Amino acid sequence: MADRKPLVMITGASAGIGQETARVFSAAGYPLLLIARRPELIEAMGLQNALAVAADVRDYDALAGAIRQGEARFGPVDCLINNAGISRLARLDEQDPAQWRDLVDINCLGVLNGMHAVAPGMKERRHGTIINVSSIAGRKVYPHHDVYGGTKHFVHAVSEGMRQTMSAYRVRVMVISPGVAKSEIDKTITHQNAYDFWDGGRKLLDGGLDANDIARTMLFAYQLPQNVNLQEMTITHTGQEF
């Protein structure tokens, strides 16, 4: 059908911002390829025209295989929302090095894998959008965000490099950096001091941004004309001074 909307791929789609983004884009009529390690949580949402695939963003082959499944059903990926990520907030000198590896592998390698997997098709079609979900911690340095913040600074840097590369093919690369938001981040914080710092900020902001507001911002950016690239978006609760 001529009016059929293109495929949107979302990683980390089983909870938090990713899950709400899936709801928002589904309501706007987009077919979805939803990547998560817990696909049963996606399937329980009952979204129309959505394919949930169990894949770890650290596994390039698994991610590429998921894309093949989605494109066989819905056509080429026109928008990748690289949302999968973890927090693991802590001071570097107090943190288990195993957590560093998790942060780097998911927050950095996962973003690279996603972009690399969709880039050839987008270049060939000279059309597409990549939205990398970063954090305000990718622009500012906060206590207990040592390694996490480093991974998000990486997301900004690699996104800018990729944006410059893909501009020649008329493919958009965007970064969105939420501030304190209502999410499942507290479930991944294992250091009490880090949790207290984060929780204190959240309480000052009535829990922080709703995931729906972040998702609707990404939908707005994606639906702009293809010749308009909203390169960087920083979105916070109005009361967030820090």
Residues designated catalytic: 148
Amino acid occupying residue 235: I
Measured CA to CA in angstroms, residue 15 lies from 72, 158, 193 at distances of 25, 25, 25
CA angle 66, 162, 166 (to 5 degrees): 85
**Rounded distance, CA 83 to CA 25, Å?**
14
Angular region, 88: left φ>0, alpha ψ -120 to 50, beta rest: left
Q: Kindly tell me the number of DSSP H helices and DSSP E strands found in the chain.
A: 8, 7
Contacts 24+ apart (CB under 8 A), 154-162: 154/107, 154/108, 155/107, 155/108, 155/111, 156/232, 158/108, 158/111, 158/112, 158/115, 159/130, 159/132, 159/134, 162/115, 162/119, 162/130
Q: 178: part of which helix (H) or strand (E)?
A: strand 172-178
